[in-house]
Amino acid sequence: MTAFDLSGRCAIITGANTGIGQAIAVGLARAGADIVAVGRSSMAETEGVVRSAGRDCLTVHADLSAGGAAAEVMEKSVALGARPDILVNNAGIIRRADALDFTEADWDDVLDTNLKSVFFLCQSFARSAIAEGRKAKIVNIASLLSFQGGIRVSSYTAAKSGLAGLTRLMANEWAAKGINVNAIAPGYVETNNTEALRADPERSAELLKRIPAGRWAKPDDMVGAAIFLAASASDYVHGTILPVDGGWLAR
Ligand code: NAP
């Protein structure tokens, strides 16, 4: 068994139906973990690939923008028989508008999904792990906007900057209790989240010019970091926000 082997482990991944979440669910399964796929859309495609990798895949339907949904995810997972020891908080949305025009609805929707639900899912996951004496790993999906300001994405920047802070806070409180809390900060990844950016030729060319790797990321580019932060290889890593950004932040 290597330090990157996830055999015998069980991972909850939110937003596992598409994009980065789907790639991470499949990647963790191929590394040996059983999967609990959480989200508001059908998980059939992810479930098929996870099962073809020889791993179990439970699905939990949840709209994570709703109050109380995050805590219910843990209850439902446990009721289905899962004993999760990895949590990947991946589900997230983005709304774009100038700060001068930004609406309260676009603020609340993004903060509820990208920050509030993440905190309460971490809380219920950590409570369960601590109560049962399980060592556990939390991997939050942050953003370059956990470090930078961005443009036209006020609530997203607030949420992802807040998530970086919360990742450090939870790491401080839970490291000694056997829970590692870390985050991945993806660069620009080809998913639904960046469709509007990629559809704008000027903005898309500007972004590409700044990426040292010379290309946008594919969802699969996030998998290695996710396995590392979920596996025993990262047992002494706490509270870090790991950029996987093709070198963007080095510029
Ligand atoms: P995506 O393809 O739009 O995936 C977002 C996922 O979140 C989908 O599974 C979506 O479900 C789910 N989700 C959204 N709202 C939800 C809700 N209320 N309840 C349950 N699930 C919900 O985009 P992505 O790029 O893979 O995004 C994944 C994460 O990476 C997000 O946290 C995003 O902020 C972050 N990220 C992305 C990039 C990038 O360049 N793409 C960069 C940095 C960080 P549905 O399919 O049902 O909508």
Domain with 149 in it: what CATH number?
3.40.50.720
Ligand 1 neighbours (beta carbon < 6 A): 15, 17-21, 39-41, 62-65, 90-93, 113, 141, 143, 186, 188-189, 191-194
What span, in angstroms and rounded, lies between the C-alpha atoms of 79 and 90? 22
138: confidence class by pLDDT, cuts 50, 70, 90: very high
In a domain, 204, yes or no: no
For residue range 208-231, list pLDDT tens digits in order.
Answer: 999 999 999 999 999 999 999 999
In a domain, 53, yes or no: yes
What span, in angstroms and rounded, lies between the C-alpha atoms of 214 and 161? 26
Question: In sequence order, what are the residues at sequence separation of 6 or more whose Cβ sits closer than 8 angstroms to the Cβ of residue 9?
Answer: 28, 32, 33, 34, 85, 86, 230
In a domain, 211, yes or no: no
Name the one residue in this structure whose structure tokens are 């949904």: 69
Question: In sequence order, what are the residues at sequence separation of 6 or more whose Cβ sits closer than 8 angstroms to the Cβ of residue 52?
Answer: none
Distance from the alpha carbon of residue 106 to the mean position of ligand 1, in angstroms: 15
Residue 1 reports pLDDT greater than 90: no
Other C-beta atoms lying within 10 Å of the C-beta of residue 109: 15
Residue 180 reports pLDDT greater than 90: yes
Distance from the alpha carbon of residue 14 to the mean position of ligand 1, in angstroms: 9
18: confidence class by pLDDT, cuts 50, 70, 90: very high
Q: pTM of this prediction?
A: 0.98
151: confidence class by pLDDT, cuts 50, 70, 90: very high
In a domain, 128, yes or no: yes
In a domain, 116, yes or no: yes
Distance of CA 206 to the CA centre of its chain: 26
- The DSSP letter of residue 218 is P
Nearest ligand 1 atom to the CA of 64 is: 19
pLDDT at residue 79, as a whole number? 95
Number of domains in the chain: 1
Max intra-chain CA distance, the chain: 54
In a domain, 212, yes or no: no
In a domain, 213, yes or no: no
Show which residues are catalytic: 156
Nearest ligand 1 atom to the CA of 187 is: 42
In a domain, 165, yes or no: yes
Distance from the alpha carbon of residue 183 to the mean position of ligand 1, in angstroms: 15
For residue range 63-120, list pLDDT tens digits in order.
Answer: 999 999 988 999 999 999 999 999 999 999 999 999 999 999 999 999 999 999 999 9
